[in-house]
Structure 1
Amino acid sequence: MTEAAPMTGPAPAPALLEQRGPHRHPAPPRRQGRLLAGLLRTARPKQWVKNLLVIAAPAAAGELFSRPALAQLPLVFALFTACAAAVYLVNDARDAEADRAHPVKRHRPVAAGQVPVPVAYAVGAALAVLAPVVAARLCSPAVCALLTSYVAMQLAYCVFLKHVLVVDLVVVTTGFLMRAVIGGLALGIPLSRWFLITTGFGALFMVAAKRYSEAVQMAGKAGATRALLTEYTTGYLRFVWQLAAGVAVLGYCLWALEEGGVPHTSVLPWRQLSMVAFILAILRYAVFADRGTAGEPEDVVLRDRALALIGLGWLAMYALAVANW
């Protein structure tokens, strides 16, 4: 009877340890997983599609599938994405308190507490420094300078430029233009004046349409985090996106009608025909701008089937025009 006690006494201890063991250390990995997921969400993966503009200049020059382009453009895309993510992290860290009062933005990871504010600042600062450093080593000095300028301009926007009328529109538009220019800088491709005019005013069209949609949707509602929406009038923002759309169309048409000294050997005049698709795309996007539903440009571009088909048609004709087929 006395010998049975040592056999039954210690037996439950390992079983209890096995039962309790999994409950001792799940929190740190789970917290780390939530933190990484929150950082990724804060980097706005859905908006990385904007960074595909880095291929715009090489595509316009017919150099998209050259060996240097295939080697450099994925790296440039990744570096620009890192810089944009750095800006998003710092912006959300700065706006955390204001975002908590917004009906939608309060669900952002930093505002919701999933990503601590100091962590967002630290990761954003690291990306802002590392991306230009890598560009200096693996790309050209021009790419490094442009990335540095982009980060500096966007951080200045987060701090005070977003509170300056008109300047805020110019800064956001310039960010899009930088995306379109950097691919040409990486490959040493000269940038056409028509390319710069069309891209710049096309970007201003989308930025002003976004602001207009935000102003329409937030009219009379509390919790707006973009203070300038109360200072812009919807009439003014409508004027800006209409003006920008007109200049973008004009610039594109002038490019299409200019032969540029290249002998015309195409089966069809693809340059001129591409004007039709380009204008249709502008008009289709303007429908959403006029309704006040162009607040998320990437959603409009990716979700509207008609706009997607028009865009594919334009891409095909533009490619044939550049290749002079």
Structure 2
Amino acid sequence: MKQYLKLIRPFHWVKNLLIFVPLFFGGQLFDRNKLFLLVLGFITFSFIASSVYIINDIQDADKDRRHPKKRFRPIASGKISKQHAATFLVGLLLVSFLMMAYLTRINHNPWTSFGFPIFYLIMNIAYSNGLKNIPLVDVVIIAVGFVIRLLYGGGLVNITISDSLLLTVISASMFLGFGKRRNELKKGTSTRKVLKAYSMEFLDKIMYVFIGLTLMFYSLWSINGSAWLVYTSPLAMIIVADYCLIIESGSSDGDPAEVLKHSKSLMALLLLFLLVLLLCLYVD
């Protein structure tokens, strides 16, 4: 069981918390019906995301065995066979589709309930089968994955996402994607072909661009919100600075979930940020 948990990478489900952002920022976090819908959506999307991880691990098993860290993954290490992993994958996808059908029955919106998770799945299969080797396209697909989560959450509970919030997530996702590539290139342990097309100089420059855009778009969103929201912008700047400090140290491969997992300072700052946002949005 432990190996199957490692296979689905549950800690990486933290990325799927973006599904709750529209409800949280929309001031409706305590609407039980909508919260219930998003919890189901979170579980569904997490299973779909885990299915993508399994597909990747099956396809990249031989390559992962040559990686200093990935060689310990269940399939690469031989602790789970490809056949057993494929069977588990089918079961996970079956449960996901049943949950999508149940969500459709509740919210009567099949385009959202089925559309976003299936599109995410197809996009990542295409990514694994060649698109990950095309420079820029590889990072854009990573960013689109985050945006899909945001739109999926908004669609499930019928909440319109503001332009500034959408642009904040897009630019932050691009920053995270290029940050991941930067650290992979810096450490020199990755087997990704696409890294040959990147240079540290380019990745540094493009990250600066998306850091600035992220903070600008977030500040615009906060200015147009409640009176106190603007004061969360300095905290957002500190969070970005701390994240940059962590990836600059080269102690991780730059994956957002892994960075968060191993950084107490970033975890504490994010929790403080969420608490302040909660007070600004929900306390009169």
- What's the TM-score, normalizing by structure 1? 0.80
Q: Which residue of 254, 263, 267 maps to 1:304? A: 263
CA contact (8 A) 2:40 2:99 kept: no
1:65 matched to 2:30: yes
After superposition, give the CA deviation of every residue in 1:231-286 in whole Å (9 maximum; x if it has no partner).
21112122222211111101011112225xxxx6xxxx421101111111111111
Q: Which residue of 244, 250, 259 maps to 1:286? A: 244
Q: What SS class does the counterpart of residue 76 from structure 2 fall into? A: helix
In the alignment, which residue of structure 1 is the partner of 2:206?
Answer: 240
Q: Distance between the aligned counterparts of 2:166 and 2:97, measured in 1?
A: 24
In the alignment, which residue of structure 2 is the partner of 1:202?
Answer: 172
Q: How far off is 1:133 after superposition?
A: 4.2
Q: Which amino acid aligns with 1:292?
A: G
Q: How far off is 1:130 after superposition?
A: 4.0
CA contact (8 A) 1:76 1:183 kept: yes
Indicate the RMSD between aligned Cα atoms, in angstroms.
1.8
Q: Which amino acid aligns with 2:250?
A: G
CA contact (8 A) 1:270 1:318 kept: no
Q: Which amino acid aligns with 2:243?
A: Y
In the alignment, which residue of structure 1 is the partner of 2:52?
Answer: 87
In the alignment, which residue of structure 2 is the partner of 1:251?
Answer: 217
Q: Distance between the aligned counterparts of 2:261 and 2:269, measured in 1?
A: 12
1:145 matched to 2:115: yes
CA contact (8 A) 2:20 2:153 kept: yes
CA contact (8 A) 1:213 1:291 kept: no
After superposition, residues 177-216 of structure 1 pair within 5 angstroms as: 177-216=147-186
In the alignment, which residue of structure 2 is the partner of 1:164?
Answer: 134
After superposition, give the CA deviation of every residue in 1:183-225 in whole Å (9 maximum; x if it has no partner).
111111111111111111112211211111111011xx5xx32
Q: How far off is 1:299 after superposition?
A: 3.4
Mark the runs of 5 or more structure 1 residues left unpaired by the alignment.
1-35
Q: Distance between the aligned counterparts of 2:201 and 2:74, measured in 1?
A: 34
After superposition, give the CA deviation of every residue in 1:110-129 in whole Å (9 maximum; x if it has no partner).
11111111222333244335
In the alignment, which residue of structure 2 is the partner of 1:40?
Answer: 5
Q: What SS class does the counterpart of residue 100 from structure 2 fall into? A: helix
In the alignment, which residue of structure 1 is the partner of 2:65?
Answer: 100
CA contact (8 A) 1:273 1:317 kept: no
Q: What SS class does the counterpart of residue 102 from structure 1 fall into? A: coil
Q: Distance between the aligned counterparts of 1:241 and 1:289, measured in 2?
A: 12
CA contact (8 A) 1:97 1:111 kept: yes
CA contact (8 A) 1:277 1:311 kept: no
After superposition, give the CA deviation of every residue in 1:22-69 in whole Å (9 maximum; x if it has no partner).
xxxxxxxxxxxxxx4322211112212212221111101011110222
In the alignment, which residue of structure 2 is the partner of 1:314?
Answer: 273
Q: Distance between the aligned counterparts of 2:223 and 2:261, measured in 1?
A: 30
CA contact (8 A) 2:142 2:177 kept: yes
Q: What SS class does the counterpart of residue 111 from structure 1 fall into? A: coil
Go from structure 1 to structure 2 and tell me whether the alpha carbon gap of 1:293 and 1:237 turns closer, same or farther (over 3 Å shift).
farther
Mark the runs of 5 or more structure 2 residues left unpaired by the alignment.
none
1:270 matched to 2:236: no
CA contact (8 A) 2:23 2:159 kept: yes
Q: Distance between the aligned counterparts of 1:119 and 1:230, measured in 2?
A: 34
Q: How far off is 1:308 after superposition?
A: 2.8
CA contact (8 A) 1:212 1:292 kept: no
Q: Distance between the aligned counterparts of 2:162 and 2:98, measured in 1?
A: 28
CA contact (8 A) 1:47 1:298 kept: yes
Q: Distance between the aligned counterparts of 1:129 and 1:240, measured in 2?
A: 40
Q: Which amino acid aligns with 1:312?
A: L
Go from structure 1 to structure 2 and tell me whether the alpha carbon gap of 1:242 and 1:129 turns closer, same or farther (over 3 Å shift).
farther
Q: Which amino acid aligns with 1:147?
A: P
- What's the TM-score, normalizing by structure 2? 0.91
Q: How far off is 1:158 after superposition?
A: 0.9
Q: Distance between the aligned counterparts of 2:89 and 2:120, measured in 1?
A: 14
Q: How far off is 1:297 after superposition?
A: 2.1
Q: Distance between the aligned counterparts of 1:166 and 1:122, measured in 2?
A: 33
Larger radius of gyration: 1
Q: Distance between the aligned counterparts of 1:308 and 1:238, measured in 2?
A: 24
